[in-house]
Structure formats: structure tokens, C-alpha cells
Amino acid sequence: PFSVELANKGNATEVLVVNGTAYELRPSQRLLLNFTTPAAPHKGVALLINGTKYAWNLNVSVIALNLLLKIGGYTFSPSMGGEVISVTQAAVPYQWIITDNATYRTVYLGVGGQYYALPPGGEVLINGTLNAALNQWNTVSVTINGTTYSMQIYVELTPPTIYVQSISEISFSDSREFTQSVSCATKTIGAVSTSVTYYGMEGVVSYSGNTITFSGSFEVYVAALGKTYDVSFSGSSTNGVGQVTATIGSYTAVVDFNNGAITYAEVGGTQIPPSCASIIPIPPFMYEEPPTGALDAVSLGSQLANLFAITPSDYVVNAYYNGQSVVLVDGAGHTMYFNFAGGLSISGPLSATISAQYHN
């Protein structure tokens, strides 16, 4: 659009015919006429007034906005189409960077009920947070002066890296039940086979150098005897080789092991076959060092949970990061959660508090 102002500076009323349209102007009266012309550099425009042609050269340009989207550590132009980013949480901050091609005029931008002044050569920054649908396409948009600008962003969730310097202690409680068969054959009792049901285990594991010290208790039902026993245990290992002492009712069992395999067993000072001592579980926490170093949260949570696996179905078979914690599912379908905000812990049927020096 452009305007032309006509003024009657004489003492008599004048009739002006502008481009075929008549206008009457009284003395000292002004008339503002509005026209439009296509945008172009050095655009020629003309008016025919009472048969006389008046011409001008106009430099007409359209002010165009340029937008960039800064999100997930990247900067994109909406004209690029869809882009993929990797994040460690569902709330993703973003920023629109807005510039224009104006050379002398300040442009005012209406965004969400607020107005921003965009001077020539300047920029306006609009901040926001995308509450992303994870591992899906999301639309990030901004509406400026009634026009909406948008971009498709695929938000790929990746677990954060956790740097574990050391783990000094783990206290745990495992309520997962399981039943297994125990077979034992000695000269005094002959061959005995029975099912044994475990009703969970709790205890504390401590680490010092390459030595692991542990103690705790569990409840067990022996079908052949029709009795339930409270079993307390304690022991230690160094480089995977260790010993556990367990008290079962009035009996004391001593079991030597090497990386989970029973190498020697005795009850009340009398040696028994290793198979007879299998009623005493030897989970990995008794002989395996805890994970340390730089690990992604999924790997760290899985390795910590697997320290307490007694049967094959106790091992984690599915683990994923949900944006807040790591979901751990074992072979029996139990679901646990590994949390690392404000401390390392596992919650669920297996619960554990891990005393560690770490950062993420």
C-alpha cells in the first residue's frame, strides 16, 4: 500500500479528476488517496490528475520474517521439514529465533497475547517447553501476528550416562518368591528329594577393595518336613571365592563357593555333598563386584538388579528408560524401577538403596 495526499492551497473550490474519479476540494482541504502496488525495487507508479501525469519511482519491499528453531542442542529452519533429536527427558526446552529483512522500520510481533519489538538487524527470542510424546513425532509451533509457523520434531529418548566412582554398600529387600527342587544323597539319610519355597530375602552387602562382606536373612518352606524356617546368613568373598555361614533352626551350615558354584559344604562340622547345601542360595551379590564407571542408566540399573538374581527368572529381560526412571522387568514378569535422582535406588518387589559416589 502507498498513499498520496492532495491539498487545495487556493481560494476557490477545485474539482480534481484522479485516474478517472472526481474529487471536490474546498480551499485548504486535504485529500488522502490510498493505492496498492506490487512489491518490487524501483517500482514506477503514476497518477493522472486533470489530464496531467504525475509519476514516482518507489522502492517497495515486503518485510519477511525468518525463523530458526533451537531445540535439543540443534538449530533448525522450519523449511528443513522433519528432524530427529535425542533427549534424556520428556520436557524439552526450545527457543524460536526470529529475525526479518527490514532495513529501517521496527516491526512489532504479536505472540501469545504479548508484543515484541523487532528492530532492523535485531532478533526476538521466544522460549518454550515441549512436553514431548517420546519416540514419536511432535509439532513445535509459534503463532506470530496471526500466522502459525511450525516444525515436526521426532523426539528420541535416550538414557542419561551415570558416572559411578564407587559403591560402598547396598541394603536390599527382595520379596520375589520362588520354588525349587533340592536333591540330597548321603550314607546316613539315603537319597532325599523335596521342593523348597523361598519367601524373599533381605540383607546388607558391603564393599572394600576386592572384598565383599554380606549378611541377611530369608524365610524358606521345606515341603518334606512341612516346616517353615527363618534362615540367617553371613559371609564374605574375595575375587569371587568365599564362604557363607547359615543358621537353619538348630543347624549351622558352612558353604564354600567359587563364583556361585558350591565347592564344599558342611552341617554341624560334618561334610555333606554340595547338592545337599543348595538350600542355601548363592546370589551374585555374594561374589560379584558392583558396576562402576561410565554407564547408561539402563545398563547400570539392570546390572545392579541382577546382583540379586537367585533363579534364572530373576534376571532382567527387559529394561527401558521412561524419561524419569529405568523400568526393569525380570523373567517372571516382576516390574522394578531404578531411580538415580538424588541417590541410587531400586523400588518394587526388589528394593535396594545403593550408597555410592556418582554423578550424571
pLDDT mean values, one per 10 residues, the chain (360 residues)? 81 88 90 77 79 81 89 91 89 96 87 91 95 93 93 93 97 94 68 85 96 96 89 96 93 93 89 83 96 96 97 95 93 97 96 95
pTM: predicted TM-score of the whole model, two decimal places: 0.70
User: Are residues 223 and 194 in contact, defined by beta-carbon separation less than 8 angstroms?
Assistant: yes
Per-residue confidence (pLDDT) for residue 88, from 0 to 100: 87
Per-residue confidence (pLDDT) for residue 122, from 0 to 100: 94
Per-residue confidence (pLDDT) for residue 323, from 0 to 100: 84
DSSP run (H or E) holding 353 = strand 350-359
Per-residue confidence (pLDDT) for residue 182, from 0 to 100: 82
> Which architecture does CATH list for 65-157?
Sandwich (2.60)
Place of cell 527401558: 320
Question: What is the CA 312 to chain-centroid distance, rounded?
Answer: 30
User: Are residues 170 and 285 in contact, defined by beta-carbon separation less than 8 angstroms?
Assistant: yes
Is the torsion defined by CA of 132, 133, 134, 138 positive or negative? negative
User: Are residues 229 and 219 in contact, defined by beta-carbon separation less than 8 angstroms?
Assistant: yes
